[in-house]
Amino acid sequence: HKAIQMPEKEQKARNSVLQKRLERYNVEKWANDFMRSLTEQRDKDPTYVAQRLSVDLTNTLIKEYRDAKHRLLFLDYDGTLAGFHNDPQKASPDRDLYKLLDQMNALPNTDVYLISGRDKETFGKWFLKKKYNMIVEHGVWLSEGGNEFTMLENVKKDWMEKILPVLESFVDRTPGSFIEEKNYSLAWHYRNTDPDFGQKRASELNTVLRSLIANDDLSVLNGNKVMEIKSSNVNKGRAAMRIFTRNDYDFVFAIGDDWTDEFMFQELPDTAVTVKVGRQKTQAKYYLDSIKNVRDLLSRFIKK
């Protein structure tokens, strides 16, 4: 009744506000808000804890892997294949990891992709000559078989001029923190800060950033001692699905350790084997305790 009696001028004003919200609040922004709400719900709901990948489950998994005719594997890097380092550039692959990845890359009927938030320059330096398949910057860039990186997504970077000064102000006020400038994203690292102080500053920055990007097509990702700002239409799940839909795979495996990998666990089909590193609330079906466990499992994929 109130809507019917409302003056036309007020109706137009209210509709204008709604239209502007719909323009800003597109499907990508809705999806990211949904994932954030889901993460918050997991913190309250113990049922979101994955099942430990026991000896029996691992044996079943290995059998499924060996019986498959066309396999697809997505492997996160930091915190999954390699440990964290105070300087991200120094978290380079060790000899054993190179050997493991070389063997995996040579597996018949198996497509292996390293999938990471890392910049393409770093991964190019570490892996391009090895001819590994790589998806970097959360899905912006793709390199296959040693070819140069090409863009999977067309994303803008003009927003960085607005966000960078904010991050710089937090670096000035947070000793030990630093900024990593990637091609299409910005990351604020606080691993080297005082733990309590760094976490406090991270919470403050999170609030500031979410207010700043409210009308932009951007997302804030909270990783392991790092906060990253990137385009909302780019994530690991979207990139993984682009690869998955190319071929008829009968075994799909994805493993990762932090919040950015949840998009991958969510997007891949229900038949996929999804594994979280660390016992955390997650969308993944299973979890492993450590990087050593991850490498041990991958080593079993190689054995005949």
Decide if 8 is inside a domain. Answer: no
**243 alpha carbon, distance to own chain's centre:** 15
146 lies in which domain range? 48-153+234-302
Which of 211, 231, 251 is the last residue before a domain boundary? Answer: 231
pLDDT at 38 over 80: no
Strands 110-115 and 150-151: unpaired
pLDDT for 17: 47
**pLDDT tens digits, residue range 239-271?**
999 999 999 999 999 999 988 999 999 999 999
Whether residues 99 and 129 share a domain: the answer is yes
Whether residue 273 is found in the same domain as residue 149: yes
CA distance 78 to 97: 12
Classify residue 261: in a domain, yes or no. Answer: yes
For the chain, the farthest-separated pair of C-alpha atoms sits apart, in whole angstroms, at: 76
CA dist 182 and 120 (Å) reads 8
Q: Domain check: are 147 and 244 in the same one?
A: yes
CATH of the domain at 139: 3.40.50.1000
**Same structural domain for residues 172 and 123?**
no
Residue 12 domain flag: no
Q: Are 219 and 258 part of one and the same domain?
A: no
**One domain, residues 202 and 147:** no
Among the candidates 200, 231, 262, a domain finishes at 231
Higher pLDDT, 89 or 185: 185
Confidence of residue 25 (pLDDT cuts 50, 70, 90): low
What are the beta bridge partners of residue 114? 75, 134
Question: Given this model, what pLDDT does residue 44 score?
Answer: 45
- The answer to whether position 218 is within a domain reads yes
Residue 28 in any domain: the answer is no
Same domain, residue pair 203 and 118:
no
Please check whether residues 240 and 134 belong to one and the same domain.
Answer: yes
For residues 249 and 126, state if they share a domain: yes
pLDDT surpasses 70 at 21:
no
Query: Considering only CA atoms, which of 287, 283, 264 is closest in space to residue 38?
Result: 283
Specify the number of domains making up the chain: 2
Examine the domain organization and report whether 202 and 246 are in the same domain.
no
Which pLDDT belongs to residue 2?
A: 62
Only one residue has tokens 């951007």, namely 218
Q: Does residue 1 lie within any of the structural domains?
A: no
Catalytic residues: 76
Q: Residue 33: enclosing H or E segment and its boundaries?
A: helix 27-44
Among the three residues 231, 250, 284, which one is the final residue of a domain in this structure?
A: 231
CA 190, CA 227: separation in Å to the nearest integer? 8
Question: What are the C-alpha distances in Å from 188 to residues 2, 44, 48?
Answer: 49, 27, 28
pLDDT value for 303? 87
What average pLDDT does range 267-292 have in this prediction? 96
Does residue 16 lie in a domain region?
A: no
Give per-residue pLDDT as tens, 201-216: 999 999 999 999 988 8
Average pLDDT over residues 120-129: 96
User: Which structure tokens are listed for 199?
Assistant: 């976490």
Any residues with CB less than 8 A from the CB of 117 and at least 6 apart, and which? Answer: 78, 136, 137, 138, 185, 187, 221, 223, 228, 260
Which helix (H) or strand (E) covers residue 44, if one does? helix 27-44
CATH of the domain at 200: 3.30.70.1020
Residue 217 within a domain = yes
